[in-house]
């Protein structure tokens, strides 16, 4: 998305996979087979929170590494350049 000229992009799918989602498309039925999207205490037992927390943290760390690689490839490799990106993103959020 960024390579196509987007100013901002968000993605939660990767994080959902990291937490154990298998895209059974039953989130709204309260019968999520992995326990990710349910209020049912029995089904929630299927979710091993400590191991999923490690997976999500690892995914996030690697996502940031990839972002740094992409941003570096376009020449933003100093703190000043990063600050410009952050301030631009912040101003876009205020719109």
Q: Say whether pLDDT at 88 is over 80.
A: no
What residue ranges do the domains of the chain occupy?
A: 2-93
pLDDT tens by residue, 10-46: 778 889 999 999 999 988 999 999 999 999 999 988 8
Q: Would you give the DSSP letter of residue 29?
A: G
Q: How far apart are CA 37 and CA 26, in angstroms?
A: 8
Q: What percent of the chain has pLDDT above 70?
A: 84
Asked if 56 and 18 count as a contact pair (C-beta separation under 8 A), the reply is: yes
Please classify residue 93 by burial: count the beta carbons closer than 10 Å to its beta carbon, then call 0-12 exposed, 13-18 middle and 19+ buried.
exposed
CA angle 3-13-70, nearest 5°?
25
Q: What is the pLDDT of residue 81?
A: 73
Q: Say whether pLDDT at 2 is over 60.
A: no
Q: What is the pLDDT of residue 52?
A: 93
- What is the C-alpha end-to-end distance of the chain, expressed in Å? 20
What's the pTM value of the predicted model, to 2 decimals? Answer: 0.67
Please classify residue 33 by burial: count the beta carbons closer than 10 Å to its beta carbon, then call 0-12 exposed, 13-18 middle and 19+ buried.
middle
Q: Would you give the DSSP letter of residue 70?
A: H
């Amino acid at each position: 998305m960024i390579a196509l000229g987007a100013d901002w992009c968000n993605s939660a799918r990767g994080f959902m996979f990291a937490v154990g989602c298998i895209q059974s498309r039953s989130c709204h039925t309260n019968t999520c087979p992995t326990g990710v999207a349910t209020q049912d205490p029995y089904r929630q037992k299927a979710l091993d929170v400590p191991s999923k927390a490690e997976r999500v943290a690892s995914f996030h760390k690697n996502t940031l590494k990839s972002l740094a690689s992409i941003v570096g490839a376009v020449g933003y490799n100093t703190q000043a350049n990063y600050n410009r990106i952050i301030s631009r993103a912040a101003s876009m959020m205020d719109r």
